[in-house]
Structure 1
Amino acid sequence: MNIGITDILWVFILAITLLPMIQQRSIAEKRLSLLRRIETRRHSRVISLIHRQEAISFLGIPISRYINVEDSEHILRAIRLTPVDMPIDLILHTPGGLVLASEQIARALQQHQAKVTIFVPHYAMSGGTMISLAADEIILDPNAVLGPVDPQLGQYPAASILKVLKQKNIDRIDDNTLILADMAEKAVRQVQDFVTSLLLDKMPPEQAGELAKTLAEGRWTHDYPITCDKLRAMGLATVCTDLPLEVYELMELYPQPAQQRPSVQYIPLPYDNGKKPPG
């Protein structure tokens, strides 16, 4: 049997075409195995909502991920498939996303009768914070953070649009800005009311309303990090330890796009306390 250069070339093309698919299938199986391991140990339904750029892109450009309606549809279905007396653990890593989708997820988690726990290994900002507020308990890595939930209108924070009305004569404001300001006022009020409803079963009404206002009024920039200590001071049931090791392992299975030169390097071995690195 003669094998020519053309045959070798076709085999090579087939291999490089199938290899990424095989790798993705292997990673997906490892993810499911980790979720099952956590479920077995905690006797709960484990759901992951992780938005991280993977080595999948369109024309070489990494695809940005955020909370969307498709996410809410999947999570709502997972909650419907969960017995009412079974706890839910949600592993959350997201920069935020659509208010509608975030509210749907938060409302469904709040209505679940058994305990709901949110695990945050790194950050859950904006809509991710809104979802976290629906949980009975939030467990973070000691360095993980949540963020404000102030709504954004396009590229502008709603609070900043409203500030224009206070600092500028209305006769000098164009109609488009006035329309945006009207929408911004409604968006802030709607988010504040919803966050208050999430907090009412965790604290007195007055405290819930004040905390909702703090998170939604635009007091900080949208990427302001709210640490575990600050969350505790706000009266939330927050734990900064006991994050399962499997959660960190799961995050490793959501790789960032491959680079020619890694930005961070280290020897991936734990060092015992009080002992120097080998060498």
Structure 2
Amino acid sequence: MQERGCVRMFLDMLMLFFMISALQPVVTQGMLKMSRQRLISKIEEKNKSRVITLIHRQETMSILGFPVMRYIDINDSEKIIRAIQMTDPNMPIDMILHTPGGVALAALQIARALKLHKGKVRVFIPHYAMSGGTLIALAADEIVMGDNAMLGPVDPQLGQYPAPSIVNVLKQKPMASISDETLILADISQKAISQLKNGILDLLPDRYSFDEKKNIAEILTQGIWTHDFPINVDVARGLGLNVSTDVLPEIYQLMNLFPQPVQATPSVEHGVIDRRTHRRF
């Protein structure tokens, strides 16, 4: 009887362990969400603005803990548009962007909603906003980038190939030697490039002249660079974009509250203390 009691106690403890293990990620995510909301409220109070975040990181999702890579999608655009609609038209909006890009339609919807907002719009990019993220940033009155932050070209991608590269095939080979499929892809590519170029012309704020808008749109869509080319602060300013580097310390603190999945062996370690907050991170 005593042995049965010990076995039952062991099984009960094992069950309790599994229950705590299952609940721990949920509790952790809840605490992180509360911390993010407090910091967002602090930034809003400091800047007298509405803060909207679009931060795509690998996050440990569900009980199984599989990391999921996030991209800009229609769900993002719906939520952000709703947040903009719920914001006073004259209130400034500060959007925090950290994304590899995603669905062009969703990015264009977000960018257009920002462009139509009457109040001043700033986009903060602490680390990177590539492709569709750059498209969203173009609609802002001011782009605020970290010293080492990056934007990227927005040339359309058809499947695994850049649209400008498909169009270039028409210049490299005689028409008779090009397959029908390639000709069809080239036609679609030309339309996609033209549509996106016109979209950028419409999105860029009125502070830019038409010639400046045209130059920015052509460089970003014509495949001058590879799609993952890093456009740093100097290159962005060279394009004529209104870029500053006054990223708030609180924004970097906020990024720390969007952690990557915990690895058994960290890939980066240091003993640095933030000189601005005097806190170890």
Q: By the TM > 0.5 criterion, same fold?
A: yes
Following superposition of structure 1 onto structure 2, how do residues 72-83 of structure 1 map, counting pairs within 5 Å? 72-83=77-88
Matching residue within 142, 147, 168 for 2:152: 147
Equivalent residue, structure 1, for 2:210? 205
Matching residue within 261, 267, 270 for 2:265: 261
Matched, 1:104 2:137: no
Cα distance between partner residues in 1 of 2:227 and 2:242: 23
SS of residue paired to 1:84: coil
Equivalent residue, structure 2, for 1:218? 223
Deviation at 1:203, TM superposition (A): 1.7
Cα distance between partner residues in 2 of 1:57 and 1:180: 40
Cα distance between partner residues in 1 of 2:28 and 2:183: 52
Equivalent residue, structure 2, for 1:51? 56
Matched, 1:64 2:69: yes
- Cα RMSD between the aligned structures? 1.8
Compared CA separation, residues 49 and 215, structure 1 to 2 (3 A): same
Q: Is the 8 A contact 1:105 1:131 kept in 2?
A: yes
C-alpha distance after superposition, 1:60-111 (max 9, x if no partner): 6422211111100000000000001100000000111111111111111011
Unaligned residue ranges in structure 2 (runs of 5+) = 1-5, 277-281
Q: Is the 8 A contact 2:22 2:63 kept in 1?
A: no
Cα distance between partner residues in 1 of 2:217 and 2:106: 19
SS of residue paired to 2:122: strand
Equivalent residue, structure 2, for 1:170? 175
Aligned residues: 271
Sequence identity, in percent?
50
Q: Is the 8 A contact 1:202 1:236 kept in 2?
A: no
Compared CA separation, residues 200 and 120, structure 1 to 2 (3 A): closer
Following superposition of structure 1 onto structure 2, how do residues 13-28 of structure 1 map, counting pairs within 5 Å? 13-28=18-33
Equivalent residue, structure 1, for 2:241? 236
Matched, 1:114 2:119: yes
User: What amino acid maps onto 1:144 in structure 2?
Assistant: A
Compared CA separation, residues 68 and 228, structure 1 to 2 (3 A): same
Cα distance between partner residues in 2 of 1:3 and 1:38: 52
Compared CA separation, residues 62 and 171, structure 1 to 2 (3 A): farther
Cα distance between partner residues in 2 of 1:247 and 1:171: 56
Unaligned residue ranges in structure 1 (runs of 5+) = 273-279
Matched, 1:41 2:60: no
Deviation at 1:173, TM superposition (A): 2.2
SS of residue paired to 1:55: strand
Cα distance between partner residues in 2 of 1:19 and 1:64: 21
Compared CA separation, residues 200 and 258, structure 1 to 2 (3 A): closer
SS of residue paired to 1:4: helix
Q: Is the 8 A contact 2:25 2:63 kept in 1?
A: no
Q: What TM-score comes out, normalization by structure 2 length?
A: 0.92
Compared CA separation, residues 57 and 8, structure 1 to 2 (3 A): closer
Q: Is the 8 A contact 1:140 1:239 kept in 2?
A: yes
Q: Is the 8 A contact 2:115 2:205 kept in 1?
A: no
Equivalent residue, structure 2, for 1:188? 193
User: What amino acid maps onto 1:114 in structure 2?
Assistant: G
Equivalent residue, structure 2, for 1:11? 16
SS of residue paired to 1:52: coil
Cα distance between partner residues in 2 of 1:245 and 1:84: 27
Cα distance between partner residues in 2 of 1:60 and 1:253: 18
Equivalent residue, structure 2, for 1:84? 89
Q: Is the 8 A contact 1:57 1:63 kept in 2?
A: no
